Amino acid sequence: MAERSGITATALRWYESTGLLLRPPVRTSGGQRRYDQAQAAWLQMLTCLRGTGMPVATMRRYAELCRQGDGNEAERLALLEAHRDVARARYEQAQRDLAAIERKVALYREKVQS
């Protein structure tokens, strides 16, 4: 799974130990974890949430809601919309910061080349 998903084995174990998986992976007789397609998709979602800065506590709440099944979609939606708004604001700030860096690079490049 680590090779297929790009998620390190350490990260996979971390997701499992923090209670973020919807269900634990099946283990082989040798103790290796085996993930199915649904678990792989869930891990990709967790990676997305983590990559956009969602706090672990919020990720746990989202996982808990998903484990509960149907009936709490409004709460899941609110949670993801709130996170999306925070992630969007961070992204916009990162774009402004990158633009400032690009301006400095252009200034230094001009000085070096002249």
Q: Which long-range contacts (CB under 8 A, 24 or more apart) does 5-11 make?
A: 5/40, 5/43, 5/44, 5/47, 7/43, 7/47
pLDDT at res. 8 = 87
How would you classify the pairing of strands 26-27 and 33-34? antiparallel
CB 65 within 8 A of CB 96: no
- E strands, 5-78, are 26-27, 33-34
Task: Give the domain ranges of the chain.
Answer: 2-113
All residue ranges of the chain with pLDDT < 70 are none
CB 43 within 8 A of CB 5: yes
- State phi, psi for 80 to the nearest 5 degrees: -70, -35
pLDDT at res. 7 = 85
What class, spelled out in words, does domain 2-113 have in CATH? mainly alpha
